[in-house]
Amino acid sequence: MRPFALSMLVLAACAHRAPDRPALDLAAAMAPPPVEAPTAPVPPEVAVEVAPVPPEPAAASPRAQAEAWLARLTPAQKVGQLMMVGFGGLEVDEKIEALVKGYQVGGVCLFKRNIDSSAQVARLNDQLRGFFEGGVPPFIAVDQEGGNVVRVSDTVVVLPGNMALGATRDAALAYEASKAQALDLKRLGFSMNLAPVLDVNSNPANPVIGIRSVSDRASLVALLGAALVKGQQDANLATIAKHFPGHGNVDADSHRALPRLDDDEAQLLAHLEPFRTSMAAGLDGVMTAHLAVPKVGLDGTPATLSPAILTGLLRRRLGYDGLVLTDELEMQAIAERYGVGRAAVLAVNAGADMVLVPWRAEKKAEVHQALLEAVARGDIAPARLDEAVRRVLELKVRRGVFEPLAPLEQRLADLGQGRDLGLTIARKAVTLLKAEARHFPISARKKVVVVTAESSLAEAIRRRMPQARVLVVPAYPAEGARESLKREVRAASLGADLVVLGVVNARQLELLTNVTLTGVPVAAVVMGVPYLASAANDAKVVLLTYSYRDTATEAAAAALFGEQGTPGRLPVELPRIPYGYGLNSFCLREGAAREDGGACAPSHGKSAMGSRPAPHSTASK
């Protein structure tokens, strides 16, 4: 066993030990903290100047260095450290400079709207850092989760996504890949990643997590999540896991509404195992979720604004002392009910150390003014303000945010040293649920039509079969175009020996039904959430990749043509298909050895989808 794999098993085992604490007194643990008497009002400070300060001696501890910086900051500068902001565009202009320098912000978060290429964003990040020479530089953050949440993709390590990792069960690989990705982010000038997702996707109807989660099993999320956290932090990248206290068991999107989590205390603590495991190993920070937990939070207040959740549960019950960053306050779950300015003050008083306000300029101004006025009135107590800023500063010291970067050209030249890890994960993740011998693997002599919403799948198949006919369809066809699309796909399928259907969402399942009515067999490649496979019973072959990145579609094509096996195992439970299930295609061939060198397990009868036997399905792992 590799040393890291052993350490992760020990970590997981330790995470299950009973905490050395008395049983939870719900009323006491969840009660809001006592409110300090407000200080005498002082006028809000508007002018914010950078106070050049020589760096502390290298021998000083991060806490001591943070305290030295804290002692030199004005109240207005402290307020700035509470804010993480965003802006539009690929370059810095006078308005953006005024935003980040004028507010002396604690962090800047970049999104796809800010990134055209690795070289461009590296120059942008260096320019942002340059605004704070001699002062407190901001975190420069991104949410590079992998899979369907990727902000920068050229020349850097890009991972297929968390659920693909879940299908591999490989903690050592998760660590290695996470560290490689983090090193590339550091080279680009990022100092923080808003990842990994530690939510347990226990609700198949969840509209916002899905394949962003490792699994529907807390134990697997805990094991691989801790590996992802350790990989990033070993690369010295500040790591913010999300979304506390867990966004996996809801069926609403907090961008549009306030989800309600009806877990009781025991259920919630079970789903928090991934957070607890990573916290015990030194997790830098967590991002809050905008959801109500009425059975634990004692009311319907969103967790982001709830003292019962952020102080009572997170700080007191779980004993966590890392950074707490809110999710975007401009989401409708918060903004429509509270307004972003009021919400920022409530979040800080609830226990958050930074608030994320990435979109509209007027909302940033509203948050800044509300925080300044709350500090001036004493509505945010001086001790609470200092506590939050201290955590921000200490994490900046520990993650090298004050330290100079290597020359830009050198950093760009070093990018992408672990890019092959994405394909390694994808190949190990491919999961076969069903395969009829006549149609799998695909023979070069067959007449194949590819219908897919993801063009990279068609490209991967055409590299192997140039004569294949390809029809790339919209992932979300307009309502009025759906019937004509069905007719087009039906016509293209006639005369084919096999249709390979790339499934990203339920719209492509309509096409599956349409094709099977012609009598042409279908091989379904499910690139979206694995739950889609439950509705693919008419397909003769069902293959899962948990990702539509080009590495995942390449691995799918390689498996379809018999170039590699299908070693992945379901990281979630499906209707009539158990957790851990998967057919290894190499084991299906008489006398073939498994690609990992192990022996094939004996057959356990028919596959869960009514086709080939399942030699290595193991529901308990």
Q: How far is CA 194 from CA 90, 385, 480, in A?
A: 20, 23, 39
Of 401, 472, 380, 350, which is closest to residue 238 (Cα–Cα)? Answer: 401
Residue position matching structure tokens 């039906």: 490
For residue 568 the two structure tokens come to 């992945």
60 within 8 A of 68, measured Cβ to Cβ: yes
The half-sphere exposure of 170 on its side-chain side, counting CA atoms within 13 A, is 22
φ, ψ for residue 285, nearest 5 deg = -165, 170
For residue 343 the two structure tokens come to 């919400």
Of 286, 370, 290, 379, which is closest to residue 330 (Cα–Cα)? Answer: 290
Q: Which alpha helices (H) appear in 378-505, and where do they start and end? A: 382-398, 408-413, 420-429, 455-464, 482-493
CA distance 183 to 417: 9
Residue position matching structure tokens 């290429």: 117
φ, ψ for residue 325, nearest 5 deg = -115, 135
Q: Amino acid identity, residue 158?
A: V
Angle at 498 (CA atoms; ends 492, 503), nearest 5 degrees: 80
CA distance 511 to 504: 12
CA distance 111 to 87: 9
For residue 177 the two structure tokens come to 């890949």
User: Which positions are annotated as active-site residues?
Assistant: 255, 327
Please give the helix or strand (H or E) that residue 543 lies within, else none. strand 541-544
Task: Identify the bridge partners of residue 324 per DSSP, sorted by sequence position.
Answer: 286
Q: How far is CA 373 from CA 46, 148, 389, 419, in A?
A: 11, 39, 17, 48
Strand 354-357 versus strand 285-288 pairing type:
unpaired
Would you tell me how many other CB atoms lie within 10 Å of the CB of residue 436? 15
CA distance 346 to 352: 9
SS3 242: strand
